[in-house]
Amino acid sequence: MTNKRVKGISFVAFSAFLLLFASCSTVTESAKSGYYTVKYGLKGPYYLDHNKYKEGIQAFQEELKANPENAEANYYMGRLQLADNRPKEAQPYLEKAARLSPEDADYHFWAGMAYGANGKKDLEFKSYQRALELEPTHVEALTYRGHVYLERSEYQKALNDYKRVLELDSDNPSALYNRALVLNRLKRSAEERQAWLEYLSMYSGGPMASQATIHLNEMGDFKYRNYLIGSRTITLESVRFEPASPEIQKSSCESLDILGNIMKNNQKVSVHVVTYQKKNAKLAEARAKSVKSYLLARFPEIDSSRLILSWFGVSEQIKTGKKTFKADESVNFITAVQEKRSALKK
């Protein structure tokens, strides 16, 4: 989300404006309005960007005592209340901002956000619609109108909005994820698969990536997989090798580096490296050793005993939901249970 910006005015120009026209009462009033635009346009984003919500709320309470009908002061008070997880308190301020400045798309969008947070879905939708009437390329309004359509099961309309968002902002994470989700609902499998891959190529960390990977795996695609390493579930692009070779492809180094950094930073974590290669256990063994060699060379802080190798000359059986798939060649990472490691040492 972008904070509302001060448009078309600088401090130098504004100061000159005041000095030149101070004697004219009408212009003085305009200058005063411009002064508040600059003032609030600096204060509001400062409190929002620095997560100083309560401090900002207190400051704008004072501002609103002096200027209760100022649209921008009401807008920032509403934004700060929303950021502080106080949607009921935020709504009247954002409503008032939109009423005082009805041609401002941002004000209508954020009023919609407050309505949505308070469960007023019809008013939320109308606010996004109004914002888009004023500014058809308003990315946030398009995105959240798409969310409303998705909630209503109006999948094609939601897809249209997400596609338009991506035309304007190609790496928008919410539109990328929800586009794939809508394609899932529409049962357009080929497009869905590509959409999940596109999302994961840009955002491979966090719970949304984990969920995207589950969707992808359920389609029988294992380019990305989720692994429980220690107490964390991480999403990694699957480790690949050169054909019929134990040489790790360069594109897989990033995944191994993520795993190595976790093991480096948490010395208590040990990992089983389990490789599979259908009808070729010797190649599977060589690949397991190649992964271990890479990690130890790249991260000398990792003790060799913390990387436990296993290899099999069969396909890996991968269960996702009610389905089971076979991967003829793969690498799996499994956190070693501490008690089992102690028993193995004996």
Is the pLDDT assigned to residue 97 strictly greater than 60?
Answer: yes
pLDDT band at 37 (very low <50, low <70, confident <90, very high): low
Would 334 be classed as within a structural domain?
Answer: yes
The answer as to whether 209 is a domain residue is: no
- Does the residue 177 lie in any domain? no
Specify the pLDDT at position 42.
81
Tell me whether residue 338 is in a domain.
Answer: yes
DSSP classification of residue 248: B
Taking residues 196-200, what's their average pLDDT?
98
Inform me whether the pLDDT recorded for 19 exceeds 90: no
pLDDT of 253-296, one tens digit each?
A: 999 999 999 999 999 999 999 999 999 999 999 999 999 999 99
Per residue in 104-154, pLDDT (tens digit) is 999 999 999 999 999 999 999 999 999 999 999 999 999 999 999 999 999
What gap in Å lies between CA 297 and CA 318, rounded to an integer? 30
What integer is the mean pLDDT of 18-46? 53
Are the C-beta atoms of residues 269 and 306 closer than 8 Å to each other? yes
pLDDT digits (tens, 9 = 90+) for 265-275: 999 999 999 99
The answer to whether position 154 is within a domain reads: no
DSSP, res 107: H
Among 114, 136, 158, which residue terminates a domain? 136
* 212 lies in some domain: no
Q: What is the extent of the structural domain holding 333?
A: 229-345
Percent of the chain with pLDDT over 70: 86
The percent of residues in the chain predicted with pLDDT above 90, rounded, is 83
Task: Give 271: exposed, middle or buried? Use CB within 10 Å, 0-12, 13-18, 19+.
Answer: buried
pLDDT tens digits for 39-78? 777 888 999 999 999 999 999 999 999 999 999 999 999 9
Residue ending a domain, choose from 80, 114, 136: 136
Last residue of one domain, picked from the residues 136, 166, 181 = 136
CATH number at residue 240: 3.30.1330.60
Do residues 280 and 311 make contact, with C-beta atoms less than 8 angstroms apart?
Answer: no
343 — pLDDT class (breaks 50, 70, 90)? very low
Number of structural domains in the chain? 2
Residue 213 lies in a domain: no
- Beta strands of the chain (E only): which ranges? 224-229, 232-237, 271-277, 307-312, 316-320, 323-327, 329-335
Instruction: State the pLDDT confidence band at 327, using cuts at 50, 70 and 90.
Output: very high
329 in any annotated domain: yes
